[in-house]
Structure 1
Amino acid sequence: MADNLTDVAENRGLDWLTGNSPAAPVLPLKVALVTANGSDSAPGTEVSGGSYARLNVAFAAASGGATSNLADLVWTGMPAATVVGIEIWDSAGTPVRWWWGPLTASKTLASGDEFKLAAGDIDLTLG
């Protein structure tokens, strides 16, 4: 997901780099699944229903301007939906959306299906 930082994340990153404010997200970071992708300025349409909930995600230390998720993420008991992308949110009292991006290929799920993103499937890059 190159250059898929949200506007808020871009501004917070610049503020941090210029010493204007702390910009770190509140951990843990969480992955949300969406049925319609958002943009830098607006969130997508998040999956709802079934046993769906955002899952915690951790990333490896960045190298070469890139990182990826350390462990598999598995959602069980999903509602019927077509997942087209993901968003990464923090755990603040009012959560902040930091990153967004489309999946390589959409995934259509029947009610009760499992959805999995394997370790290394979520690639984040700057550059």
Structure 2
Amino acid sequence: MGATAFKSRALPLHINLTHTPPVAGNGETTDIAQVDPGFIGSTALVPSTFNTGSYGWKGNKRITVELLNSESGGKEKVQVMLTINATVLGSKNAKGEDAEGNADAEPSNPTEDEDEKGAGED
């Protein structure tokens, strides 16, 4: 599948970041921040084409992480910029082809991936 077909078909991916290790769930959908005491934040990854010619999902978000201070016993907050690229394996080889193997009519925009304000930015 080419990049154009991928971007027209792919839905966003949603990421939850937590200190809590994964556990088997019961299939119910709830607000993760209410049931997970280690919840840090969440963001969405949007379908994208990368400068390398491959495609996948990307997103970034600024989050606050609390660290335990072993000396004072208190907590210290640090600001973190989370950046995630999820590349579809083998997509670089599909560069320039649509779903039927024809050349893409649209040229890729190489500056799209260099945008500092990605999906999920607060």
TM over 0.5: same fold?
no
TM-score normalised over the length of structure 1: 0.31
